[in-house]
Amino acid sequence: MGGFSFRNLIFSLVIAILVWGSSIETCNARRGKHWRNRSGTFSSLYKKKGKNHGHVEKSKPKPKPNNPLPIPEEPIAPVQKGLKFNVLDYGAKGDGNSDDTKAFQGAWADACKVEASSMIVPSGYEFLVGPISFSGPYCQRNILFQLDGTIIAPTNSKAWGKGLLQWLEFTKLVGLTIKGKGTIDGRGSVWWTNSIFDDPIDNEQQLLVPLQNITMTKNPQISNSLDGKMPSVKPTAVRFYGSFNVTVTGITIQNSPQCHLKFDNCDGVLVYSLSVSSPGNSPNTDGIHLQNSRNVLIHTADLACGDDCISIQTGCTNVYVHDVNCGPGHGISIGSLGKDGTTACVSNITVRDVNMHNTMTGVRIKTWQGGSGSVQGVLFSNIQVSEVQFPIMIDQYYCDHSSCNNHTSAVAVSNIAYENIKGTYTVKPVHISCSDNMPCMDVKLTDIELNPMPKGYHMYDPFCWQAFGELYAPTVPEIDCLQEGKPSSSWDPDDTGCAL
């Protein structure tokens, strides 16, 4: 009886101890659930990785908690300035035959995200690139487009569809610089051949007359071995639109289908050490075209083309051009302005220290009848001309068609100074033809010395119509057609609708 009771007592104690230990373990597990789960997971993964050489055994999926915590976002790395993005790293071949457009798009997409980055177009390669837009406005500032290789345009009409206004476009950017020793080649001969006789020409060509038995003809067609008719809309090679503080330097732009380099709606433009090259009979191939742009500096440039070396259009103000070589081409022009009755405003333009050789005009202003607005505050100074047809010109009867209607309204022209214009001409030294209702006012001619070339031939005498201003110092030849003082029907520059 006693033995049985002792065994029962021992058995009861063992059961009690087991039950008590189980309750303690359960409480500890509940208190440390989250810590133990995380610790156990990392510990088990570490052990399995070391044992199985990185191959983790599959585990059963854990049930999702009822109220999951939000996953923290990955921290964004700080901007690293100065990164370089080479188009070769994005698949560009640079063999002149493969289409490298996508590679350029990829390199630009990454460069666009990094402030002060560089997009590299390396030397020793020829990249075939179709129409492309390097665009903002969400790109970072101060991107460098380092151009040391050659970019060529497609000559297949399929690449252009029905025609585009530009080939390489840079839009809504701040602080962009195109720099290098490379070349942008528009391969424009295929465009010129198909449309050379369809393009309008400057009406100054109508003033040309045969010299003795020399017959003046239209420019001959430019030969081209490429097949396929291109669209009627010809693209500008390089265009900047809506951009601030942009620079183009060192590069060569050649054989553009139309204008070579255009700035539209830009503020703060610097162009220097630039070369533009296309044949003198390539139609409408302006060198540098400015429109609705302000605070522009162009210097130390060699411009040879088939139209204006520099064209300054409506909406331009504070433009300074110096140390430029121009020719062949149509000179440096303000206009044409006021076409189709539009209002044009141009002011504060300085062009000085320029050499012109074998150009149609030298420094000129050209406006359409029927327009409105004004051209005010223009200085052409220290211009050396050589065998230029019309060195000095203001033409308020501009028309690039065979016939144009007469209108009484005109873009007003005032405060225009020509000083130290010297060299040789082949047709007429001075042609200033102004509106009957809006005569040119405050035209100043100083130190003009222009001699005919070739000597011995009779050229046109200086011509002025409704032009008022002053002559300073003797002029060669004598310019006696400029009227002194103000016209009887003078107008107020403040009433032209253009804010200075």
Best CA proximity match to 381, nearest among 416, 327, 420, 349: 420
Which residue type, as a one-letter code, is found at position 99? Answer: D
Residue 491: other Cβ atoms inside 10 A = 17
Instruction: Indicate if the alpha-carbon torsion angle 182, 184, 190, 196 is positive or negative.
Output: negative
Contacts of 282 (CB under 8 A, 6+ apart): 188, 189, 192, 222, 255, 305, 306
- Separation CA 315–CA 292 (nearest Å): 4
Nearest 5 degrees, angle CA 73-CA 76-CA 80? 170
Best CA proximity match to 434, nearest among 471, 396, 384: 396
- Separation CA 249–CA 238 (nearest Å): 13
Is-contact 359 384, C-beta < 8 A? no
Catalytic residues: 330
